[in-house]
Structure 1
Amino acid sequence: MPRNLDLTALRAFVTVAEMGGVTRAAGQLNLTQSAVSMQLKRLEESLGQPLLDRTQRGVNLTAQGEQLLSYGRRMLALNDEVWARMAGDAYEGEIRFGVPHDIIYPYVPKVLQRFAAEYPRVRVELVSSFTKGLKAQYARGELDVILTTEVDCEPEGETLLTQPLLWVGAPGGSAWRHRPLKLAFERVCIFRLAVQQALDEMGIEWDMVVESDSSRTIDATVSADLAVHANIAGNAAPHLQQIDHGGTLPQLPEFKINMYHAGRSDMPLVTALASFVRDAYHPHLLKATG
């Protein structure tokens, strides 16, 4: 006899897994924590499988939970698509997405492409600025979803990636060999002070040859091999490359790429965009079923 999954309980499970806790999930679903916990329990009982490992702190999925997460995302996406199509209520409007210039690549273009394919009547306004400015705009309600580069993450944020800074320069360039080391950074770039401190600690003289508020100016200078820069590992622009300095430059500290969004059950577009961003940074979660 066919049996049916409770999609409400399934949505609660997926939200808990994605938000990293019952408390955040409850806020996003506009439910109480006890209601979300009851839905998780009901889903586990209906499947006869443990979905969460409760022997550890935080939210950790069991092997069965990881498998269900992949299925659950697809089922909920299809459910939402059918509901929108059959109800004649296709989403339209605008969503505002803020991203620092130096982490647009390689993930953001893929996110925008996927969102446009699934919500063709929704316009995404991409705002590129610095973390401090983006957080201020977000606090004023001027942006719906933002990515940031920070040393830490605030409680309402979600860390997508933690990676070290890496030295980057022109492909095949030699600017990194010169002393004093020529640097190019925006005036308010959060990486700037960390780079200067690391060079000072290693006793390497440096010269800030370009100070600008324009990311394009920095990129042009570095790609011309007139200076070097630093980016979070894996996020350098296509026209720059990691410098293989063999230890002649200092190791740089780690930074976090965080996401902040005001996603709630009554803001499906914001929730969808945040989900696509999360999937782009963690594609392995989509392949849990092989």
Structure 2
Amino acid sequence: MPRNLDMTALRSFATVAEAGGVTRAAGLLHLTQSAVSMQLKRLEESLGRELLDRSGRGVSLTADGEQLLGYAKRMLRLNDEVFSRLTDHVYEGEIVLGVPHDIVYPAIPQVLKRFHAEYPRMKVNLVSSMTHHLKDMFAKGECDMILTTEDTLDAGGETLCVLPLVWVGAPGGQAWKNRPLRLASEGDCVFRKTVQRALDQVNIPWEVAVDGNSYRTIEASISADLAVFAIIDGTVPGHLEVIPHGGTLPELVSQQVNLYVADPQNSAAIADLAEMVRAGFRAMQLSGLHAA
């Protein structure tokens, strides 16, 4: 006959292990010390193993206790997730997600749609800004997670994909043939120096034709065939096109799309949203590879 573990006793055991003693654990659990001690005793008896070493002044785990603790944490996490999803105690609150404007499409709308279906009472506040600004916000605790476009990776982050920069202009446009080459970009754009350096290396003269702080203004100028610039492959909007320059313009370096998440262990919703973001950009990179 199968034997079932007592989830209440498991929670007391895990709390005692993390709190370092029965007294403190009892306070965290809002139980008496005797009630917690009784639960621990029943758990040991049900398993036929000693889980706590009580020989010293404090409480420490035995080898069997250390092994059980890993299982207990996973079981309690799953128990809490099931209870939250299938009762009225659903997840509520807000997650602040920062994304550079040039990689919002195509992955992020699908991510948000999927997340809303699974967490209908959670609000995702989408902040769109430059990478350096998003990193400042993240450092101040103003974002729960951010995506960045960089050529390096800071501690605590992970690279989701590496995508090339491509030259973009108006559909059927001719601005890319002009010399000096007219560029349109925001002043803080992380790609700006990369593009200018690439042109300098092949001795193509250039000038900044449009220099603004609005991404929509920059897009409008490029769409009007007044200038060109570079964006990440796979994110080209329908009113622009990858320039068929046939090698006339220099090849550009690739950029990392990085993810930084603040303490995902403390929130199943944040952890799930991060995993959805990973899946979205993984699919985006695979789509680019297949197209190539």
Distance 2:229 2:79 in 1: 46
- Distance across 2 between alignment mates of 1:80 and 1:108: 28
User: Does 2:282 align with 1:268?
Assistant: no
Separation of aligned partners in 2, 1:221 and 1:241: 13
**Paired residue secondary structure (1:265):** helix
Query: Who is 1:130 aligned against?
Result: 130
Q: TM-score, normalised by structure 1?
A: 0.69
Over 3 Å counting, the alpha-carbon distance change for 1:114 and 1:194 in structure 2 is same
Q: Greater CA radius of gyration, 1 or 2?
A: 2
Residue in 2 aligned with 1:210?
210
Q: Superposition RMSD on alpha carbons, in Å?
A: 2.8
Task: Give how far 1:80 is off.
Answer: 7.0
Q: Which amino acid aligns with 1:95?
A: I
Aligned-partner Cα distance in 2 for 1:259–1:204: 35
C-alpha displacement of 1:155? 2.2
8 Å Cα contact 1:103-1:236 kept in structure 2? no
Which one-letter code corresponds to 2:86 in the other structure?
A: M
Task: Read off the aligned partner of 2:216 and give its amino acid letter.
Answer: R
In the TM superposition, residue 163 of structure 1 has moved relative to its aligned partner by: 1.7
Query: What does 1:172-187 correspond to in 2, within 5 Å?
Result: 172-187=172-187
Matched, 1:157 2:154: no
Q: Name the CA shift for 1:86/1:130 in 2 (closer, same or farther; >3 Å).
A: same
Deviations 1:13-59 (A, max 9, x none): xxxxxxxxxxxxxxxxxxxxxxxx979x99xxxxxxxxxxxxxxxxx
CA drift of 1:93 comes to: 1.1
Deviation readout 1:84-141 (Å, 9 max, x if unpaired): 2334311111110100011111111111111111111111111110000000000000
Pick closer, same or farther for the CA change 1:79–1:222 going to 2, 3 Å.
Answer: farther
1:78 and 1:238 map into 2 onto residues whose CA distance is 43
TM superposition outliers: structure 1 runs of 4+ over 4 Å:
77-81
Name the residue aligned to 1:230: 230
Once the two structures are TM-superposed, the CA of residue 263 in structure 1 deviates from its matched residue by: 3.3
Aligned residue pair count: 218
Please name the residue that 1:104 is paired with.
104
Question: Within 1, Cα distance between the matches of 2:136 and 2:202?
Answer: 35
The aligned residue for residue 45 of structure 1 is none
* Corresponding residue SS for 1:146: strand
Could you tell me which amino acid in structure 1 is paired with residue 219 of structure 2?
D
1:82 aligns with 2:85: no
Name 1:220's counterpart in structure 2. 220
Q: How big is each residue's C-alpha offset from its partner over 1:59-104, in whole Å with a ceiling of 9 and x where there is no partner?
A: xxxxxxxxxxxxxxxxxx9977633233431111111010001111
Q: Does 2:93 match 1:93?
A: yes
**Alpha carbons of 1:219 and 1:90: their partners in 2 closer, same or farther (altered >3 Å)?**
same
Structure-2 change in CA distance of 1:81 and 1:171 (3 Å): farther
Q: What residue is the counterpart of 1:282 in the other structure?
A: 282
Q: Is the 8 A contact 1:183 1:229 kept in 2?
A: yes
| Higher relative contact order (Cα pairs below 8 Å, separated by 6+ residues) | 1
Look up the match of 1:21.
none
Structure 2 unmatched runs, 5+: 3-65, 72-76, 285-292
Residue in 1 that maps onto 2:18: none
Of 237-246 and 143-152, more deviation after overlay is shown by 237-246
Which deviates the most, 164-173 or 264-273? 264-273
Indicate the SS of the match to 2:264: coil
Change (3 A) 1:219 1:89: same
Letter in 2 for 1:250: P
For 1:191, the equivalent position in structure 2 comes to 191
Q: Secondary structure at the match of 1:282?
A: helix
- Displacement after TM superposition at 1:230 (Å): 0.5
**Native 8 Å contact 2:81 2:268 kept in 1:** no
Deviation per CA, 1:161-184, whole angstroms, max 9, x where unpaired? 112211011122111111111100
Distance in 2 separating the partners of 1:221 and 1:193: 19
Whole-Å separation in 1 of the counterparts to 2:245 and 2:67: 55
